[in-house]
């Protein structure tokens, strides 16, 4: 299977008031295409920084990030933007959307921008895809609503639709269920699992063991380095979640979680 | 705690605070210094008129022919109690050509700006003149005194030479006193007086025309002038009342008035900016406000925290503005002091302080009004992250998925405006004010330069050129129409000799005694006789030009004032006999502030004293413009004054056109700078508010250039909208602001709008300035960190 991401000796250092803070220290990581990987770790361990650095939202201080054969750390700002727009999808803990736009418009926005110059026909395809995604994720009925007129779960599903609209190669999710209740969390994870089953690579950061137990592999990061990883195998509906959660819990306890 | 909050807020928005501070400072400077100026001018005019003992009525004569009759009539008026007393001052009239000046070894013509020139002795009772220190003075033989305005206009200084041609000899005077002359020293009076000692005056009298000045003391100046008009004294040129002098001096307040207007505009803009800043700050800090409320702080207590900051900025701006206004006021008052004797020539610090306090109170009251919004923020809002729990409200704006062609950034820009119309209205109003402000001087200038304006001065824009001052020194001033016609014939021959087959026509000006058939009050009315049978350039708003011997036309003002209509009869005193004439038409022009008559070209007025002639129109074959012809003819015939119709208009309205022309670009640049500052401030506030959205757009792959374009396009759309809205508003300002201003001169005029200039070129300049400011402000987008997404409400 082809590697989606190959990260070698990735370092990230912040300098604040002339004091260096090494947030990531020589992180090495590989993610296969179609794999769903969770990153766990205590607060301040560098989970979010890892996600931001490998998705090109932040610049690495050292090391390399190979994304489907392309080196991201050498890319210029605009190249990185284009890559994020066309080949990566993002889901954040807070459901960030433009308040002036409807749910539907927020979803089609990145696709319209990616297709700038290819108007009418291209836009019709985008709308068709958006409608299909909204239907799949069960938010068709709120498509014309404003951002503040839908529930948190619906909004997060809309964010997933937006992340999928440009048919990316990978989805980065930062605490995708962090701001949701139990039921909404389950619905969102169902969707992410379904997308993953369709072949999408997903790298997510979470504190939630239930969320991590739905992933194929869990990485534990501490003090900016990946201390250990735990392979759970691909999850499917027939599996007993409680067993996966127990196994993961045992592993985490061993790590001092 | 207040101090800590103040310190934090000041550091957080340095740029915004600085711009606000700048506006408050400038507004205070303009307001304090100009209010001071107006108050000082007001009290100074009254004091100066009293100090110089300007009488209730000055009767300016054009000859000494009626002196005995007038003296007898005035004596009668004393007996009847209509006047208290009168005094006669002898004056001699000077021809512009007889005077030359010499400064720094260079001899040149005196620039009179069309004023009538008089020479007299130092008056000892009425219409007194003083030296620069406000004291009476004496003159030796060979010394001359003249007004400060005349000296400044001609760049003369004390010690320079004044040459007066008297017959074959030239008398040389040294300028030894710069006078403060209440009756003759103001540029708007149209009369300038030179003062010499008694011996020199006697010498001058031998070769100049004697006129006189009656100084009349009367409790009812209006009734007296009415009676005087009914007497039919043909040698009276004009009567000037004390009130008229007050009005003349009030023109000195125009500049101060303009500065007040600018100050008010700046305060308005500062208030708009303040509202914008406050609303943004409150929206941005809803969490802090909500939490303060949650822990039990009352609305007023929270308001105080916000008001402290603005109090600090406004106080600092007002104090600095007050400090600057003191030297500015002193400078402005010094300008007045150079032409008037003032009781107290210092600026009133108390007035300046009051103005500064007014600015502080007004701005703080407005801040207090704007902070009402605080009460809308509740503790729940803060806890729910800006969500007040209200789920359903109407959404305005456009739908992107329904736009098949609209580029995304254009959509984002226009959708923002439509979604928050109220927010952008503030900006639109500010830009509209700027666009209208720039069209006012532009339209004024275009109107002044228009053919219509030329025709309102009884000039023909299509003639070849105009000529003035055609009298030879030997001919003296033309006193009747025959002398004028003889002069015209001579000039026509001189032109022919140089190969110019030209036709010349003059416009003779008389003051005729006219009254209606109902035996109403007689008027001593300025009457123009166009010495051309086919003067098609003289326009009539109704009826037709007077052609036959018994035909006359009046200006609209006179017709309305007297209640006359076309077809009515009037009697005109000509050669001592009353002639009945029929009114054939009415017109609206600027001659004698719109109060005049036009007499037919056929009636013989050769026995009447001609007050003056307006100008002489020259028609000949030429491909050149009037300006080019004037330059060429001036070289060929340097003894005469050659001008275009436009130059004649300009010389008559005191060079306002030149001043406006010179001020237009600096004004546009200043306005552009102010607008750029406002745009910079607003855009910075937008970016501060939208940091979260910008970060989110960056995270999902929007390029920096795309996000920047979104901001620039949005601002451009606001500017374009303002441009469109300002077009009808500017047309309204033409109608309700400019038209009445032009009407002060005595006639209605169609305000001329050069659409390309007023609605395209100049606004485009402002548009470029605004876009540049937006580009400058949006550079900060580059530094918005994706982590700022946490600021997204």
Judge: B407–A92 Cβ closer than 8 Å, yes or no: no
Contacts for B757-760: CB closer than 8 Å, 24+ residues apart: B757/B442, B757/B446, B758/B438, B758/B439, B758/B442, B758/B443, B758/B446, B758/B730, B759/B439, B759/B723, B759/B727, B759/B730
Residue in this structure with the two tokens 């089609």, named with its chain if needed: A108
pLDDT in tens, B141-176: 999 999 988 898 888 999 999 998 877 788 899 999
Answer whether B241's CB lies under 8 Å from B332's CB. no
User: Quick one: pLDDT band at residue B649, thresholds 50, 70, 90?
Assistant: confident
Query: What pLDDT sits at residue B382?
Result: 61
Residues of A within 8 A of B407 (CB-CB) are: 116
User: Quick one: pLDDT band at residue B210, thresholds 50, 70, 90?
Assistant: confident
B499 burial level (CB within 10 Å; 0-12, 13-18, 19+): exposed
Structural domain of residue A130, as residue ranges? 3-254
Judge: A101–B415 Cβ closer than 8 Å, yes or no: yes
User: Quick one: pLDDT band at residue A24, thresholds 50, 70, 90?
Assistant: very high
Asked if pLDDT for residue B392 goes beyond 60, the answer is: no
Residue in chain A closest to B397 (alpha carbons) equals: A100
Nearest to B701 among A58, A81, A104 (CB): A81
Residues of A within 8 A of B392 (CB-CB) are: 149
DSSP tally for chain B: helices H, then strands E: 25, 22
pLDDT in tens, B672-723: 888 898 888 888 888 888 888 999 999 999 999 999 999 999 999 999 999 9
Mean pLDDT of B102-129: 86
Tell me how crowded residue B344 is: count the other CB atoms within 10 A of its CB. 11
Nearest to B704 among A77, A99, A113 (CB): A77
Query: What pLDDT sits at residue B793?
Result: 45
Judge: A120–B400 Cβ closer than 8 Å, yes or no: no
Backbone torsions φ then ψ of A90, nearest 5 degrees: -130, 135
Which two tokens mark B552? Answer: 């006359």
Judge: B401–A84 Cβ closer than 8 Å, yes or no: no
Mean pLDDT of B65-87: 89
Judge: A85–B792 Cβ closer than 8 Å, yes or no: no
Query: What pLDDT sits at residue B65?
Result: 78
Pick from A53, A58, A81, A116 the residue to mutate for testing the B interface (most B CBs within 10 Å): A81
Show Cβ contacts of residue B560 under 8 Å, excluding neighbours closer than 6 positions.
Answer: none
Mean pLDDT of B279-294: 76
pLDDT in tens, A36-55: 999 999 988 999 999 999 99
3-state secondary structure of B572: strand
Residues of A within 8 A of B699 (CB-CB) are: 57, 84, 90, 92, 96
Could you tell me if B699 lies within 8 Å of chain A, comparing CB atoms? Answer: yes
B residues 358..397 contacting A (CB < 8 A)? 387, 390-393, 395, 397
pLDDT in tens, B400-419: 888 878 889 999 999 999 98
Distance (Å, whole) CA A85 – CA A101:
19
Least confident stretch, B73-77, B242-246, B310-314, B471-475: B471-475
The C-alpha of B359 sits at a distance from chain A's nearest C-alpha, in angstroms, of 37
Distance (Å, whole) CA A232 – CA A212:
9
Query: What pLDDT sits at residue B391?
Result: 45
DSSP readout, A183-237? HHHHHHHHHHHHHHHTT-EEEEE-S-HHHHTTSSEEEEEETTEEEEEEE-----T
Judge: A104–B705 Cβ closer than 8 Å, yes or no: no
Judge: A105–B400 Cβ closer than 8 Å, yes or no: yes
Asked if pLDDT for residue A209 goes beyond 80, the answer is: yes
Judge: B701–A110 Cβ closer than 8 Å, yes or no: yes
Judge: B701–A83 Cβ closer than 8 Å, yes or no: yes
Query: What pLDDT sits at residue B305?
Result: 78
Least confident stretch, B448-457, B658-667, B760-769: B658-667
B576 burial level (CB within 10 Å; 0-12, 13-18, 19+): exposed
Pick from B283, B384, B401, B423 the residue to mutate for testing the A interface (most A CBs within 10 Å): B401
DSSP tag of B518: T
Which two tokens mark B639? Answer: 């003894």
Could you tell me if B404 lies within 8 Å of chain A, comparing CB atoms? Answer: yes
Q: From B321, B298, B244, select the one nearest B58 (Cα to Cα).
A: B244
Nearest to A84 among B403, B408, B700 (CB): B700
Judge: A146–B792 Cβ closer than 8 Å, yes or no: no
Residues of A within 8 A of B698 (CB-CB) are: 57, 81
Nearest to B408 among A96, A109, A146 (CB): A109
Distance (Å, whole) CA A67 – CA A75:
11
Give this complex's ipTM: 0.87
Distance (Å, whole) CA B262 – CA B4:
36
Judge: B701–A94 Cβ closer than 8 Å, yes or no: no
Question: What value does the mean pLDDT of chain A take?
Answer: 89
Residue in chain A closest to B788 (alpha carbons) equals: A96
Distance (Å, whole) CA B591 – CA B183:
23
Could you tell me if B783 lies within 8 Å of chain A, comparing CB atoms? Answer: no
DSSP readout, A24-75? EEEEEEEEETT-EEEEE--TTSSHHHHHHHHTTSS--SEEEEEETTEESTT-
Question: What value does the mean pLDDT of chain B take?
Answer: 85
Mean pLDDT of B260-282: 74
Query: What pLDDT sits at residue B388?
Result: 47
Residue in chain B closest to A111 (alpha carbons) equals: B408
Residue B260 CA to chain centroid, in angstroms?
13
CATH of the domain at A64: 3.40.50.300
Asked if pLDDT for residue B789 goes beyond 80, the answer is: no
Who wins on pLDDT, B454 or B249? B454
Q: From B782, B412, B788, B379, select the one nearest A94 (Cα to Cα).
A: B788
Query: What pLDDT sits at residue B654?
Result: 62
Work out whether strand B523-530 and strand B542-543 pair parallel, antiparallel, or are unpaired. Answer: unpaired
pLDDT in tens, B90-101: 888 888 778 889
Query: What pLDDT sits at residue B225?
Result: 85
Query: What pLDDT sits at residue B311?
Result: 86
Which two tokens mark A252? Answer: 């985490």
Judge: A113–B408 Cβ closer than 8 Å, yes or no: yes
Number of domains in chain A: 1
Asked if pLDDT for residue B526 goes beyond 80, the answer is: yes
Residue in chain B closest to A116 (alpha carbons) equals: B407
Largest CA distance in chain B: 101
Distance (Å, whole) CA B223 – CA B376:
66
Asked if pLDDT for residue A215 goes beyond 60, the answer is: yes
Could you tell me if B135 lies within 8 Å of chain A, comparing CB atoms? Answer: no
């Amino acid at each position: 299977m082809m590697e989606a991401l190959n990260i070698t000796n990735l370092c990230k250092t912040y300098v604040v008031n002339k004091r260096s803070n090494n947030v990531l220290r020589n992180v090495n990581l590989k993610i296969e295409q179609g794999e769903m990987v969770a990153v766990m770790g205590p607060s301040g361990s560098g989970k979010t920084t890892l996600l931001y650095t490998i998705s090109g939202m932040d610049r690495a201080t050292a090391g390399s990030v190979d994304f489907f054969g392309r080196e991201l750390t050498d890319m210029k700002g605009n190249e990185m933007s284009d890559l994020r727009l066309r080949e990566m999808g993002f889901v954040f803990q807070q459901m960030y959307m433009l308040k002036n736009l409807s749910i539907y418009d927020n979803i089609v926005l990145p696709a319209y921008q990616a297709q700038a110059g290819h108007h009418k026909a291209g836009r019709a395809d985008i709308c068709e895809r958006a409608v299909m995604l909204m239907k799949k994720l069960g938010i068709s009925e709120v498509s014309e609503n404003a951002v503040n007129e839908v529930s948190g779960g619906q909004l997060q599903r809309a964010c997933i639709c937006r992340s999928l609209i440009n048919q990316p190669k990978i989805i980065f999710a930062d605490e995708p269920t962090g701001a949701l209740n139990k039921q909404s969390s389950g619905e969102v994870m169902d969707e992410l699992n379904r997308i993953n089953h369709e072949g999408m690579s997903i790298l997510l950061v979470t504190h939630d063991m239930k969320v991590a137990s739905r992933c194929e592999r869990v990485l534990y990061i501490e003090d900016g380095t990946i201390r250990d990883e735990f392979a759970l195998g691909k999850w499917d509906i027939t599996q007993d979640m409680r067993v996966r959660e127990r196994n993961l819990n045992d592993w985490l306890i061993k790590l001092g979680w | 705690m207040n101090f800590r909050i103040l310190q934090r807020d000041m550091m957080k928005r340095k740029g915004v605070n600085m711009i606000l501070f700048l506006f408050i400072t400038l507004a205070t400077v303009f307001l304090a210094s100009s209010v001071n100026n107006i108050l000082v001018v007001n009290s100074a005019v009254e004091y100066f008129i009293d100090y110089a003992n300007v009488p209730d009525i000055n009767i300016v004569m054009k000859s000494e022919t009626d002196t005995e009759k007038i003296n007898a009539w005035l004596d009668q008026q004393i007996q009847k109690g209509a006047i208290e007393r009168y005094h006669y001052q002898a004056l001699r009239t000077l021809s512009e050509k007889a005077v030359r000046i010499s400064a720094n070894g260079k001899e040149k013509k005196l620039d009179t700006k069309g004023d009538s020139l008089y020479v007299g002795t130092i008056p000892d009772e009425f219409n007194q003149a003083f030296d620069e220190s406000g004291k009476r003075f004496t003159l030796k033989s060979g010394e001359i005194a003249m007004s400060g305005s005349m000296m400044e206009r001609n760049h003369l200084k004390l010690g320079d030479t004044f040459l007066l041609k008297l017959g074959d000899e030239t008398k040389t005077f040294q300028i030894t006193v710069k006078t403060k002359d209440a009756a003759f020293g103001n540029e708007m009076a149209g009369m300038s007086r030179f003062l010499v000692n008694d011996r020199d005056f006697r010498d001058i009298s031998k070769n100049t025309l004697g006129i006189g000045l009656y100084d009349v003391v009367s409790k009812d100046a209006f009734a007296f002038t009415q009676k005087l008009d009914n007497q039919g004294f043909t040698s009276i040129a004009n009567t000037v009342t004390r009130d008229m002098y007050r009005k003349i001096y009030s023109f000195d307040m125009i500049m101060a008035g303009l500065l007040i207007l600018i100050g008010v505009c700046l305060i308005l803009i500062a208030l708009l900016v303040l509202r914008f800043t406050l609303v943004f700050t409150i929206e941005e800090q809803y969490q802090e406000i909500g939490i303060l409320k949650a822990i039990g702080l009352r609305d007023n207590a929270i308001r105080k925290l916000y008001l402290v900051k603005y109090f600090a900025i406004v106080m600092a701006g007002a104090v600095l503005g007050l400090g600057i206004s003191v030297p500015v006021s002193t400078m402005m008052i010094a300008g007045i002091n150079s032409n008037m004797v003032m009781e107290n020539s210092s600026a009133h610090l108390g007035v300046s302080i009051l103005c500064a306090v007014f600015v502080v109170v007004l701005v703080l009251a407005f801040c207090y009004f704007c902070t009402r919004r605080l009460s809308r923020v509740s503790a729940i809002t803060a806890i729910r992250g800006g969500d007040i729990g209200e789920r359903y409200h109407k959404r305005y704006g456009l739908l992107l998925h329904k736009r098949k062609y609209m580029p995304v950034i254009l959509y984002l820009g226009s959708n923002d405006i439509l979604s928050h119309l109220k927010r952008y209205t503030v900006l639109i109003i500010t830009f509209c004010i700027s666009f209208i402000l720039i069209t006012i001087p532009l339209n004024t200038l275009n109107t002044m330069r228009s053919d219509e304006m030329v025709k309102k001065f009884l000039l023909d824009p299509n003639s070849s050129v105009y000529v003035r001052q055609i009298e030879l020194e030997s001919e003296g001033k033309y006193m009747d129409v025959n002398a004028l016609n003889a002069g015209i014939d001579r000039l026509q021959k001189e032109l022919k000799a140089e190969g110019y087959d030209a036709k010349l026509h003059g416009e003779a000006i008389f003051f005729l005694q006219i009254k209606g058939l109902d035996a109403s009050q007689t008027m001593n009315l300025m009457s123009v006789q166009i010495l051309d049978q086919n003067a098609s350039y003289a326009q009539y708003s109704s009826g037709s030009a007077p052609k036959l011997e018994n035909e006359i036309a009046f200006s609209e003002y006179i017709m309305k004032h007297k209640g006359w209509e076309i077809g009515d009869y009037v009697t005109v005193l000509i050669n001592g006999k009353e002639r009945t004439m029929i009114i054939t038409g009415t017109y609206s022009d600027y001659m004698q502030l719109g109060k005049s008559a036009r007499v037919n070209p056929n009636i013989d007025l050769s026995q009447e004293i001609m007050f003056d002639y307006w100008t002489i129109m020259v028609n000949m074959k030429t491909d050149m413009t009037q300006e080019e012809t004037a330059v060429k003819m001036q070289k060929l015939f340097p003894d005469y004054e050659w001008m275009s119709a436009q130059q004649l208009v300009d010389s008559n309205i005191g060079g306002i056109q030149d001043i406006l022309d010179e001020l237009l670009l600096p004004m546009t640049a200043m306005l552009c700078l102010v607008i750029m500052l406002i745009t910079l401030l607003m855009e910075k506030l937008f970016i501060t508010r939208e940091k979260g959205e910008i970060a989110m757009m960056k995270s999902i792959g929007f390029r920096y250039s795309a996000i920047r374009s979104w901001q620039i396009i949005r601002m451009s759309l606001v500017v374009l909208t303002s441009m469109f809205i300002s077009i009808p508003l500017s047309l309204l300002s033409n109608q309700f602001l400019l038209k009445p201003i032009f009407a002060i001169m005595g006639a209605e005029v169609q305000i001329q709008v050069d659409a390309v200039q007023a609605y395209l070129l100049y606004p485009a300049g402002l548009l470029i300035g605004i876009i540049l400011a937006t580009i400058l402000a949006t550079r900060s987008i580059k530094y918005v960190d994706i982590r700022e997404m946490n600021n997204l409400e």
